[in-house]
Amino acid sequence: MERELALLTVKPHLTEHRYQHTLGVVDTAVELAKRFGANVEKAELAAIFHDYAKFRDKLEMRALVISTLNEKDILHYGDELLHAPCGAYYVKEEVGITDDEVLSAIRYHTTGRPDMTLLEKVVFLADYIEPGRQFRGVEEVREVARLDLDEAIIQSLENTISFLMKRRQPVYPDTLNTYNKLIITRRSHA
């Protein structure tokens, strides 16, 4: 799917603010894909559709998770996480994108997962560091992302996990497992 058609397809599903965020994620994903050797076209497409379900009805998404998706445990970790696996499903069913790599990058862009593919890492990090994001720690992650994709993801996960813990919110197990896997892999290569 061409970029302009993809953007026209996703725009009605987003607020103007979220559309601007999406454009930032797209540009950042393309930049990261070029820098680290991921497929640029797939990174762009996954970035365009990463928040496709962001504003879907929460009850509709919860019902989809219960009836169709094999990720029922996500229901215990807050509605904010629903849009990623549900978005991958809707993008496939409604938009007709069937590339498993693209769909997987959409599915895991909020939680991560152990053994993420390069494309998944690019979209995950692009969503975190796009230029419109302004929060404590993001500049440091942007700096690290210039040289080391995995280290930037580790720092983003540290920030996210710490943020959730300070608010006594549950941390999705795959997010912790992603962090642990990256740390263990880092240590084994050191």
Which pLDDT score is estimated for 15? 98
Which pLDDT score is estimated for 189? 85
Which pLDDT score is estimated for 71? 83
Q: What global pTM score does this model have?
A: 0.96
Q: Is the pLDDT of residue 13 over 90?
A: yes
Confidence of residue 89 (pLDDT cuts 50, 70, 90): very high
Give the DSSP per-residue string, the chain.
--HHHHHHHHGGGS-HHHHHHHHHHHHHHHHHHHHHT--HHHHHHHHHHTTTTTTS-HHHHHHHHHHT-S-GGGGGG-GGGTHHHHHHHHIIIII----HHHHHHHHTTTT--TT--HHHHHHHHHHHH-TT---TTHHHHHHHHTT-HHHHHHHHHHHHHHHHHHTT----HHHHHHHHHHHHHHHHH-
Q: Is the pLDDT of residue 70 over 90?
A: no
- For 36-45, 68-77, 118-127, 170-179, which range has the lowest pLDDT when averaged over its residues? 68-77
Which top CATH class is 3-136? mainly alpha
For 122-181, the pLDDT digits (tens) are 999 999 999 999 999 999 999 999 999 999 999 999 999 999 999 999 999 999 999 999
pLDDT, average across residues 30-43: 98
Confidence of residue 61 (pLDDT cuts 50, 70, 90): very high
